[in-house]
Amino acid sequence: MAVNTSFNKTFTIGNDLTVNRMGFGAMRITGEGIWGPPKDKGEAIRVLQRTVELGINFIDTADSYGPNVSEELIAEALYPYPKDLVIATKGGLTRTGPNVWPINADPDYLQRALEGSLERLKQDRIDLYQLHRVDPQVPYEKTLEFLQRVQEEGLVKHIGLSEVTIDQIKKAQEYFKVVSVQNKYSVDFRTKWEEELQYCEAQDMAFIPWNPINAGNVGAIDKLTKIGKKYDASAHQIALSWLLHHSPNILLIPGTSKVKHLEENYKTASITLSEEDLQELNNIRQSEK
């Protein structure tokens, strides 16, 4: 892919939802292990409120974050929502304990999950509803038929997928328009999904990398830190900035439970990397994990 030393600050999802490419992931406003309520609820509420104050208008969450806790906090902190705020949520993972994520994309389960998300978020329709995982125990067509139906019923406006291959995206497109793909992706973990990213860019689909800074364990940290010194930025900020430069359809959703960290992440959008530094970042050795 070509090196881009400038980038657009916004992206339009599904031709009608224009959002700032620096978004917010609401997974970490929950308890340890993404289980239960946050240790400091007041700070979690402040994080969400500060998010919209900064001009961030894309929040990514899921019914499984808590479970339920993230969606409940979003509504408590922000409802009634700003008119331009897009809240994307997901269904397809269940929870049995901290850091445990069984898959369930059975239509009956997804129906209950979607109804719960609508109630907790106090919405009549989800702007972007994403299948959290393809379930190997459920025929993919059955899951896709469910998503097609709830879109036709007006319960969801747009549909996205997570952790999917190009073939799985194409299969879903037989049932509905796929407007976003959310796969694990970062400056040091991109080989596995680079073709999917390029496919999404060609199809004008949003690509939403989860774990965009490899959970703080970014490869070649010395290289990122060295480049960061040129911009008065941290290694994590440089890793995020690389994503904004790398492809125009990438939406960032870094998560945090602290206002200070949120503000640091937001500053990433104002960093413009040089061609030399981008080339150096492109050559970072890839992680297998």
Count CB atoms within 10 A of the CB of residue 232: 9
Going from the C-alpha of 200 to that of each of 76, 104, 179, 183, 192, the distances in angstroms are: 34, 25, 9, 11, 14
Beta strands in the chain (DSSP E): 10-13, 17-20, 24-25, 58-60, 86-91, 126-131, 156-162, 178-182, 206-207
Q: Which helix (H) or strand (E) holds 201?
A: helix 194-202
CA-to-CA distance for 184 and 163, rounded, in angstroms? Answer: 7
Q: If DSSP codes are grouped into helix, strand and coil, which group holds residue 247?
A: coil
Spatial CB neighbours of 187, under 8 Å, sequence gap ≥ 6: 214, 218, 219, 224, 239, 242, 243, 281, 284
The residues near 185 (Cβ < 8 Å, ≥ 6 apart) are 193, 197, 207, 209, 210, 211, 212, 243
Residue type, 243: L
Report the C-alpha gap between 52 and 50 in whole angstroms.
Answer: 5
Residue entry with tokens 């973990």:
189
Helix (H, G, I), strand (E, B) or coil at 163: coil
The candidate with the shortest Cα–Cα distance to 223, out of 167, 277, 151, is 277
Find the catalytic residue in 65, 129, 185, 231.
65
Annotation marks residue 65 as catalytic:
yes
> Which sequence positions are flagged as catalytic?
65
